[in-house]
A = this chain, B = another copy of it.
Amino acid sequence: MAVALNRDRLVDAMETQAAIGGTEDDGLHRLALSDADKAARDWFVEQLRALDLPVRIDEFGNIFARRPGTDPDADPVLIGSHLDSQPNGGIYDGQLGVVAALELLRTLDDEGIETSHPIEIVNWTNEEGSRFQPGLQGSGVWCGEFDLQTEYDRTDRDGVRLGDELERIGYRGDAPAEPTEAYEAYFELHIEQGPYLDESGNDVGVVTGVVGLSWGEVTFTGEANHAGSTPMSMRYDASVPAAELLSYVRRLPGQVGDRTVGTVGSIDVEPDSINIIPESATVTWDIRDPADDVVDHAIDRLSAEAEAAARREGVDCEVEETARTESAKFADRCVETVQRVADEFGYESMRLLSGGNHDASHVNEVCDAAMVFAVSEDGKSHTSEEYTSWEDCYRAANTVANAALATASPTTD
């Protein structure tokens, strides 16, 4: 028994949330726990209260609301995503996932549909990780991957403490930041942030898992010296092996796996002056692959290259992995439910792995989970150029909503 969401109301809710922290170029600047994030949370809570749902805010600011089911023994089905954004990001990202979940609850009320399992909506705190690191923070705390106190103590660039900001915006709640009972399943809608759906002409993506990820940095240390009067043979230029490592990361994926990606997003040299030979240089890495052993292998090769490049220039080198996420495989039954719903709606779909990390990776450790991806034009994301047509938003919202509904009412299926 599938329900069709109200397309106009979905678009209207998307536009309303997009205006909270909206930018002049139609993007969204709604950093976690900022005033704009507070305003978006206030709006979200207001919508939930309008549905007569009790709102539960946990110690880490995650916002939940549960629509009761008819079976007192049935575990709740969780559905949601996040309302925060990157600096000058787009308006779809995870916001669409929260709005789709809200629209599901509204539609069930409209049509007087009861489910055997409760359906619980969630907005996770700080998915983006741009103001406070790490990202996926609310789901990480809730799933027990992160320590509550440690995450409270994170500070932003201005030294502002996360716990204090939660308090300031009024979203440090009383509910425990953990699952206090079993959950039946978790469904999350997010835009793809990659080009595969758009390129292949599909309507929605059935996400089967999330690739493994390694983040790290390599720091080379040589000797600063005058660029004019130091002979080439007497230099220990830290920027040289850094550049060679950066070039290597461009080639590395093609040496280790078909689905591997590798990126150096940041390179910094010191003292950073046109006529001084750099004393130190730091490059970051971001390596991902569906297979964790391929990620391991890539990091081994990257480390070997860093050391070889450092030796060639006669400088020191330190290699440090700063974050590691194992790949996640979503539960077959949840993936199959998403697939079936997409087929029933007649949506062209493809199965794919997520290259980006999502709250579902954490929740997948607590209960069965799956994700739906919406088409992301040209794969652009984290920029105001991010774009998903309203039709694609609607298709993806119908898919995730009905996957949750089908799981919450298995007997009516």
A residues with CB within 8 A of B: 130, 192-196, 211, 213, 215, 224-232, 234, 237, 239-240, 242-244, 246-247, 250, 253-254, 260-267, 269, 272-278, 284, 286, 288, 354-357, 379-383
> Top 8 A-B pairs ranked by shortest CB distance?
A194-B229, A229-B355, A228-B355, A227-B263, A243-B246, A243-B243, A228-B356, A227-B286
A260 closest partner in B (C-beta): B232
Among A228, A232, A278, chain B packs the most CB atoms within 10 A around the CB of A228
Partner of A247, one of B247, B275, B277: B247
A254 closest partner in B (C-beta): B232
Complex contacts, A130 vs chain B, CB 8 Å: 273
Complex contacts, A194 vs chain B, CB 8 Å: 226, 228-231
Partner of A379, one of B225, B246, B250, B269: B225
B274:A230 contact, CB within 8 angstroms: no
Complex contacts, A284 vs chain B, CB 8 Å: 274
Distance from A321 Cβ to chain B, minimum over Cβ atoms (Å)? 12
A285 closest partner in B (C-beta): B274
Complex contacts, A267 vs chain B, CB 8 Å: 239, 243, 267, 269
Complex contacts, A237 vs chain B, CB 8 Å: 250, 263
Distance from A356 Cβ to chain B, minimum over Cβ atoms (Å)? 4
CA distance A130 to B274 in the complex (A): 10
Sample of 7 A–B contacts (CB below 8 Å): A215-B275, A239-B264, A243-B264, A247-B247, A265-B273, A265-B275, A267-B267
Partner of A227, one of B196, B242, B265: B265
A265:B261 contact, CB within 8 angstroms: no
